[in-house]
Each structure stands twice: as structure tokens, then as C-alpha cells.
Chain A
Amino acid sequence: MSTRARTDVGELLISLALLALGGFVVFETQGIAETQGYSQVGPRLFPYLIGTGLTLCGTWLAWQALSGGWRAMPDEAGTHAAPDRTGFVLISAGVVLHMVLIGWAGFILASTLLFVLVARGFGSTKPVRDVAIAAVLSTAVYFLFTQALGLSLPAGLFGG
């Protein structure tokens, strides 16, 4: 086991988030009405157990984070050295905009925009090509799934 000079902030934050989630689950469980019925065990027992489990895991991982770091982590320091934040933001924007737009703009337009943004997030430098492929793919998927496979997708601005 290699000991590191500094505690990994991310590891500690995740451990604390698990702890907090466990506390939240236990707290919320108290709001569930206890009706036992035949089984002697009501709807509270499992949430209590699971909340406790989360808390224990969070504590365990927090202890690991503070005593030399999480155990048996793969060596990916090189991989994680220079994150591409622009890519992350562009893809996130694509997914969120898709969510906002799909209702009124329709599946085809929302998916086209999603495709272009994700491709850009991966460093594509050919926006015209991306738009063309996106439009063809979205349209093809739309008609395949609504006409042949019986899924219902919003037509949006193209709809009557």
C-alpha cells in the first residue's frame, strides 16, 4: 500500500456524501407510517437497514480516504491529469437542452441539437457534417420507432 502525502478531496467528499445520504434515508424513514399488517415488519425496517448500511459504508470509505487513500485504486493519475472540462460542459448542455426542448420542438430537432453538441464535446471540427448526419439519423430513428416499433415520440414543430 502506498501512502500519499495528501488526502484525496474527491474521495473524502464522496464518503461524506454517502454518510449524508444514509442520514437522510434514516431521517425520511421516520415519516413513513408504520403499519405492520400480517408480517410483523412494516415498511420502515428495510429503509432503516439500508440507511444504516450507507452510513457504515460512508464511514468506512472516509476512514480509508483519511488513512492513505481508498484501497486498491487503479493507477490512473495520468488519465485524470488534464480533464477536458469543455467536453463535459458541452455534453451536459446537450442532454439538458434536449430535456427542455423535446416537448415543444419535438424529437427530431431536440435530438439533432443533442447530437451536434455531443460531437462538438468530443472535439469534432466539422459542424456541417455533424448537422447533416444528426438530421438524417434523428429523422430515421423517429420514423423507425414511431411507425415500425410503435413507440410514441413527440413530433413537435413538425407535427400538425
Chain B
Amino acid sequence: METLNALLSGFAVALTLQNLLLGFVGVTLGTAVGVLPGVGPALTVALLLPATASFDPTGALIMFAGIYYGAMFGGSTTSILLNTPGESATIVTAMEGNMMAKRGRAGPALATSAIGSFVAGTIGTVLLTFVSPFAVDVALKFGPAEYFSVMVLAFVTVSAVLGSSPARGLAALFIGLTIGLIGLDSQTGQARFTLGVPELLDGLDIVVVAVGLFAVGETLYVATYLNRGVDTIEQMKGSIWMSKDDWKRSWKPWLRGTAFGFPFGCIPAGGAEIPTFLSYATEKKLSQHSAEFGKGAIEGVAGPEAANNASASGTLMPLLTLGLPTTATAAIILAAFQQYGLQPGPLLFDTQPELIWGLIASMYIGNVILLALNLPLVGVWVKLLSIPRPLLYAGILIFATMGAYGIRNSWFDLALLYGIGLLGFVMRRYDIPVAPVLVGLILGPLSEQQFRRALAISQGDLSIFVTQPISATVLAITALVVIVPQAWRLVRRMQADAIGHHSPI
């Protein structure tokens, strides 16, 4: 009941004319930018962060949430028509949806993806609404030791467990942590790693780092290695609407995808990659049309797209209740909060209820607007796909440099932008993941703060991290997620040796 009241007052905030307009502008901009090939949700939110700067915190965050959701919707359109996934979570959609489009079923593929995203986004927001208060209750029991342990878990899962190589993931994490060290120490106010440069006292802005890695680095990479030939855009032939059979084959995958996506979004497991693959495998197993998989099965688009969007809502749970970002995109959203001096966490539900609940209410509204924007108007967005590559990347760089320069009107940020762009180029070239850099950058200083607070409480006794039950449990889970996959691999190898042949691992 309390939650419902809070939600209702949230709607009162979100339905004011100004916030409704900001939400509308946010989802429209998010879709438009998210649809551009090569621009994933993380880059979209980083590029559009400056656009929100002049509004009050509530309005700005409502617009920002709209941008996030819009970018997710827009990204699916690109994947289906162009087969260039903007991020790893849309690989499956790109594969299966593009096959559907090749067979002349682009319309139903886009429709099942849009409606599935709407269903998953709405259910995800309902879950977020009703589970958050419980999560806040748990989070209120967290002291510095618990926060530190949870951050360690996030570091380990984002870098060492997910992705193709633990060595490269950890290297990326430590690069992010190193960048995070630059600036004034939060406890003593001492300058660290500023090399005597006054511009570095404030530390590196996450927008500069994100835009440098994603926009400048990616542009350099595409121009150097991928700028050959022309992408084939699948045409929108026939009706956008789904047939009765399409509906019948889609609704269960939507729900199952949501069931995969939301919980995976809530835990620090690197976002939507795992649930989309799980959803795809499940649908393939359960479908009566399993022979169609790989050639354009509608279930293979409906399920993973729902999983992707549900996990986006799930990601907001640890972000809002603990202040813990678990994906690159979430790290940038956290930066948007910090821009207003707000630290997401259980206390924010108490001190700024109208902001938090207004934000959650705006997500219900945003999902409806997105469905309306994406189904009938999909033809408009498709036009954006035919922008020639030179103009597209030239435009992206104008916005990238403007975002970096606009922070404090200093050429120094543009120099940093290019330097980080070069780093991003090298990382992309050698398959070093980028997300751990952003998570390390934003969580590094926070984790150090919590670590030192915890030791201040325990008067320097390190055992506080293992004697507090919640903290000890989280650290035990961290150890398990590191050890279990390694042990599993070892057992498999020993079995293979015992049988006498080597299985490719």
C-alpha cells in the first residue's frame, strides 16, 4: 500500500507538463541516436548527457531514463535491419532478426521486438517498483564493509568472470581504477596522480572517458579496419503488423525472456549478455519450429529482446537502491546522478522520494510512448540507417567533442578525449573489453571510500570484512564465482584426458 502511494505521487511528478515533455524528448532522442549503426546504449547516454544539464534534477533524470530506454529500442531496429549489433546483448537479435528480414519478414521482426520490449520493460518496471522497497530495507542494513564487499563482487564479475579472457578483463578493470585515482583523495583532500596539472584535480569526467572510448576509439577503429564496402540494409517489405500465428509464437517467449532478464539485470553479472543467450537457447529448445532457428525464427527475436529490456530495468535495481552500477551504461547513469550531487542508494528513497518515484513512474510512461513511437513510425527511424558512413561518424564526432568541451569549456578535455580515444582504439584492436574501465573508474573511488570508512569503524581491523555476516556472504559468493568456472574447466579437461581425447575448450 505504501509502495502504491509512493508510486501514485511519482506519477503526479512524472505527469506534469514539463516532465512529460522531457520524457517524450528523451525517448525520441534516445531512439534516434540509438538507431544509428555503431552507437550502442552506453554511447547514446554519454553523448546525450550534456543535453540534460540545464534542467532540474528530476526533469533531467526523467529525460535521461527516457534516453536509456529509447536507445534500447532503437538498437534493436538497427540489429534487425543491418545485422550490426551495437553491443553484445543484441548479438542474438541481430542474428535471428536479420535472417527474418532477409526472408521478407522485417515487419513482424521489428514488431515482436518492439512489443516484446514494451512487455518486458513494463513488467520489469512493475518488479522494480515492488521489489525496490525490500531491496532498500536490506540496503539500509549495509555498512561500509558490506558496500565494499558488494563492489568487490561487481569488480570481479564484470572483469574476470564475464568476457572471453580474465587477463584482459582484469587489465581493463585496473586501467579504469587507475584513471579513477586521478584527482583529490576524498578523505584527506590530497592531490593524487595529477602530475601538477591543475585541470586534473577534479579527476577525469566519466563522459570524457566514455565518449573517448566508445565514440573516438570506435570511429578510429571503424575507419582503419572496417571501412570497406557498403552495409546492406534489409528493406521493410510488407506489413509491420504481426499475424495471429506470430502473436501465438511470441507471447510466451516475451514472458520467459523477461523472467531471464530481470534477475540477471539485478545481480552484478554484466548486464544483458547472459540472459539473452539463455533465452535464445531456451526458445530453441521449447519451440515446435526449432528447425527455423538460425534461419529467422520469431521466437528467437521475441525472447532475447524481452530479456534484453527486462535486464535493463533490472540493472536499475542495484543502481537505485545501492548506488551500484553493473554495466557501462549504468555507470554513466550514476554519473548523471552525481552531476547533481545525488548519490543513489537507500537514503535517496527517503530524502528525495519525489525524484526516485517520479523517475520510476516516468518509465511506465516512457514505455508506452516508445511503443507508439516505434510501431507506426518505424519507417522514419529506418531512414536514419541509410545515412552514409562518412557523414554518420563525422556527425558522431561533432557531438562527442561538444560533450567533452561543454563540461568546462577547456581544450584540455579535448586532449584527454583524443588520448582516451587512442586507448579505446588499441583496446578494440586487441579485444580488451571497455565496460570494466568505466565500472572501475566510477566504483574505484567509491570502494576506496567505503574501505577506509569500514576500517575507521573497526579501528584498523581487517577482519571486519569477514566477521560481518552480509559482507562475509558476499565475499564468499565472489570467491565462488571465480573458483567454480575454473574448477569446472579443470574437471572437464581431466575427464577428456581420461577418455583419451582432447575436447576443444
Contact = CB atoms under 8 A, between A and B. Distances in A.
Q: Do A and B bind each other?
A: yes
Interface of A: 10-11, 14, 18, 21-22, 25, 28-29, 32-33, 35, 37-43, 46-47, 50-51, 53-54, 57-58, 60-61, 64, 70-74, 79-80, 83-85, 87-88, 91-92, 94-96, 98-100, 102-103, 107, 111, 114-116, 118-124, 130, 133-134, 137-138, 141, 145, 149-154
Interface of B: 50-51, 53-54, 164-165, 167-168, 170-171, 173-175, 177-178, 181, 185, 187-188, 190, 192-193, 216, 219-220, 223-227, 388-391, 393-395, 397-399, 401-402, 405-406, 409, 411, 414-415, 417-418, 421, 426, 429-432, 444, 448, 451-453, 455-456, 459-460
Given A54-B178, A122-B223, A43 B429 contact: no
B190 A115 contact: no
A145 B430 contact: no
Contacts of B460: 39-41
B456 A39 contact: yes
A50 B174 contact: yes
A143 B187 CA distance: 41
Given A50-B444, A70-B165, 6 more contacts: A43-B185, A60-B167, A115-B395, A118-B223, A119-B390, A150-B54
Given A10-B429, A88-B223, A115 B397 contact: yes
Contact of A74 (B50, B224, B431): B431
Contacts of A83: 224-225
DSSP class of B's interface residues: helix, strand, loop or mixed? helix
Given A80-B225, A149-B51, A99 B177 contact: no
A84 B225 contact: yes
A143 to B, nearest CB: 13
Contacts, number: 212
B168 A102 contact: no
Given A57-B170, A115-B394, A98 B50 contact: no
24 contacts: A14-B426, A21-B178, A37-B188, A39-B453, A39-B455, A39-B456, A41-B451, A41-B455, A57-B170, A60-B167, A70-B168, A73-B164, A84-B224, A87-B227, A88-B220, A94-B397, A95-B216, A95-B414, A100-B411, A119-B390, A122-B389, A123-B390, A141-B399, A149-B54
Contacts of B187: 37, 39, 43
A97 to B, nearest CB: 10
Nearest to B422: A92
A124 B390 contact: yes
Given A39-B452, A137-B395, A141-B398, A46 B227 contact: no
Given A43-B187, A119-B391, A96 B223 contact: no
Given A43-B185, A151-B53, A91 B220 contact: yes
B188 A42 contact: yes
Nearest to A79: B225
B195 to A, nearest CB: 8
A73 B421 CA distance: 22
